Structure 1
Amino acid sequence: MFSKAFSTPSRANWVIQGAGLIWLLVTASILNYYGLSLALAFTDALVYALAFLGGVVVLDRIFSFYIPKGANTWLLLILPLILSLIGTLLHRYVGAWIFEEDDLYRKLLGDHFYLRWAILAIMEAMVTLLAIVVSKLEQQEASQKRELHIMELSKEAELTQLRQQLQPHFLFNSLNSINALVVSESKKAREMVLQLSDFLRGTIRKDHQTWISLEEELAYLKLYLEIEKVRFGHRLQVEFEVSEEASQMQLPQLLIQPLLENAIKHGLYGITGEVNILIKAAKKQNYLIIMIENPYDPETPAQDGTGFGLSSVERRLYLLFGRNDLLTKEAKNSTFSIELKIPQLK
């Protein structure tokens, strides 16, 4: 990770390169200002810059294999100090060798040796700290990406599990109804088996991540209702009030079916007469609003095993949108109503 901070064309790399170029120009300008010729000043500045870059490369190689931690963090200071000393010595001897006949320059090298060492040490220490900060930030970013990926996988796994639970939940209810019809009304039992086959064939192939139009969702709901009408006969009446604008809005597939199944159970359990269920759909701002109303008998105790459909839809909505306010329930005047709000992503 430390090596990556130097080797990749990152923002930190551009900063180091830009600082090196500015350092070269400033050093050459200062030396020229204090009496050195332009050629000598640029040569000196170039050798000094190469000493700096050599130290950076060595630090890169060292810390790419080993980053000091704990009691060994003192190496973060000692190594730049040692490398800057070596670089300053090389600069001094190379400069004296190139310009061995220039006594003034040789004296300048000796007089400013410790100053050059201090400057080089500070620069290499700063580069070391910068690279470590970049490395830590990259590690933190990679860790956050892994956590987000794990959360996404977990969410997808739970959504898949919820759907896999809903299918058997509905299937078991239908099979129980078929079992009850086999002896008394075998023709209706066969009809229900065929309709159940059509419904499952269309829904099992669906990708739970795919959003579909409300119009398509209602088509599957009507297949489901055909099955339930075989089960309950004329007692079950469902009315749809769907605006044209709402019919083209999008929603996660098979989101309404558990709510309708819940309405049928609550509406038909404990009521002997005909039961009318109303499904409304309309657009409100950037939401698809779906309302399901069914009659219920407040005096009748709740049927065992009910409630899974509502809780599964609530959980799906939370996993998809991170909100708990998209499904509201109300029981008033022997009418149970559910309002579903689906934010539109586009």
Structure 2
Amino acid sequence: MFSRAFSNPSKSKWIVQGAGVIWFLATFGLLQLYGIEQAIAIVDALVFALVFVFGVNIIDTTFNFYVPTGRNNSMLLIFPLLYCFVAVYFHYQLLKWIFDADQLYLVFLRENFILRWAILGIAEIFVAVLALAVSKLEEQKEIKNRESMMNELSKEAELSQLRQQLQPHFLFNSLNSISALTVSQPQKAREMVLQLSDFLRGTIRKDHQQWVSLEEELSYLKMYLDIERVRFGHRLEVVFELKDEVKQMRVPQLLIQPLLENAIKHGLYGITEDVKIVVQAAKEHNYLLLQIENPFDPEVAAPKGTGFGLSSVDRRLFLLFGRKDLLESNSVGSQFTVTLKIPQLK
């Protein structure tokens, strides 16, 4: 009990010893009030304190390995009372043997046998109840720790799965484009294969890093845009507007790419003229504020897809920060804007 209540074993040892000293002093004082000689009172109190401390250790050890539940709760009374009876009987026989010549003290021992048993029994029952309470608290704490660990492992697994889904999703789109270019424009198809290889090599090399600087993330985005420009040619223009102060701010790796891919897909779908996508980054208090703005035709139905872009980013943000207010999207006229707020971890 005491070893679980306090993480330091030496501290729990001192607590038990302190309780034994208090028990000795209290017993000695009561014996003096009853008129027992000082020498006899010291031996009596010492033996009584020893059986008390021994009982505390026995109960502590017992309830470390066995916690009564339900009908077995009666053990909280039976076990301490049984031990106390044996302990008081041992105390009586030992003191009777040591001071066999002092008839008055022997009468005192015999007449107060039940009283000693009751006092020691109440104390040891209190220790047993305390041991059970501490055991229950420790059990609840362990359950919460296991639940917290399982939730953390589950969250990490889902984050890992989301990160792993990014490359196949982008890869399938790129391979479809390469397939389409192999017949009509084989040179562009070859160029796109080489650029895709560079992009994947760069992202795989950094895959173990969950957070990167915005500057490093932008270098990945520019490799990605080089691939997309092979697909869409001069129609696609992406402008980055950011200040130097935000370049070293941190972002979860490959968090922005699905948003940019979403902007390209929706911006170029149903629009025949050139498309300009603007990516802005600024510092707002302790947040990195990112905005991606793309044109779209509100009269044309959205292109079919898995809906992976916005939903994956929203889910990653929730898993990382436990918040659902970090990603917003809105449309005004023919402009669609996605706003992303990334808290900066200290």
Length-normalised TM-score, structure 2: 0.93
After superposition, the CA RMSD in angstroms is 2.2
C-alpha separation between the residues in 2 aligned to 1:185 and 1:26? Answer: 99
Q: Give the structure 2 partner of residue 265 of structure 1.
A: 265
Give secondary structure in 2 for the equivalent of 1:273: coil
Q: Give the structure 2 partner of residue 21 of structure 1.
A: 21
Q: Give the structure 2 partner of residue 186 of structure 1.
A: 186
C-alpha separation between the residues in 2 aligned to 1:18 and 1:242? Answer: 67
Give secondary structure in 2 for the equivalent of 1:325: coil
Give secondary structure in 1 for the equivalent of 2:68: coil
Q: Do 1:292 and 1:337's aligned partners in 2 also have CA atoms closer than 8 Å?
A: yes
Q: Do 2:59 and 2:127's aligned partners in 1 also have CA atoms closer than 8 Å?
A: no
C-alpha separation between the residues in 2 aligned to 1:207 and 1:43? Answer: 73
Give ranges in structure 2 of 5+ residues lacking alignment.
Answer: none
Offset of residue 8 of structure 1: 6.9
Offset of residue 65 of structure 1: 4.8
Q: Give the structure 2 partner of residue 162 of structure 1.
A: 162
**AA partner of residue 317 (structure 2):** L
For 1:53-76, what per-residue CA distance to the aligned partner results, in whole angstroms no more than 9, with x for missing partners? 233344345445543332232122
Q: What is the 5 A alignment of 1:46-85?
A: 46-85=46-85
**AA partner of residue 141 (structure 1):** K
Offset of residue 158 of structure 1: 1.0
Offset of residue 183 of structure 1: 1.6
C-alpha separation between the residues in 2 aligned to 1:126 and 1:85? Answer: 16
C-alpha separation between the residues in 2 aligned to 1:123 and 1:183? Answer: 91
Q: Give the structure 2 partner of residue 203 of structure 1.
A: 203
Distance 1:7 1:284, change over 3 A: closer
**AA partner of residue 266 (structure 2):** H
Give secondary structure in 2 for the equivalent of 1:131: helix
Q: Give the structure 2 partner of residue 230 of structure 1.
A: 230
Distance 1:49 1:139, change over 3 A: same
Q: What is the 5 A alignment of 1:254-333?
A: 254-305=254-305, 307-333=307-333
Q: Give the structure 1 partner of residue 125 of structure 2.
A: 125
Q: Do 1:211 and 1:251's aligned partners in 2 also have CA atoms closer than 8 Å?
A: yes
Offset of residue 15 of structure 1: 4.5
Which 10-residue stretch deviates more, 254-263 or 142-151? 142-151
**AA partner of residue 287 (structure 2):** Y
**AA partner of residue 288 (structure 2):** L
Q: Give the structure 1 partner of residue 91 of structure 2.
A: 91
Q: Do 2:16 and 2:53's aligned partners in 1 also have CA atoms closer than 8 Å?
A: no
Offset of residue 303 of structure 1: 0.2
Offset of residue 23 of structure 1: 1.5
Length-normalised TM-score, structure 1: 0.93
Give secondary structure in 2 for the equivalent of 1:198: helix
Q: Give the structure 2 partner of residue 219 of structure 1.
A: 219
C-alpha separation between the residues in 2 aligned to 1:14 and 1:136? Answer: 23
C-alpha separation between the residues in 2 aligned to 1:312 and 1:133? Answer: 45
Distance 1:39 1:205, change over 3 A: farther
C-alpha separation between the residues in 2 aligned to 1:294 and 1:326? Answer: 19
Offset of residue 245 of structure 1: 1.5
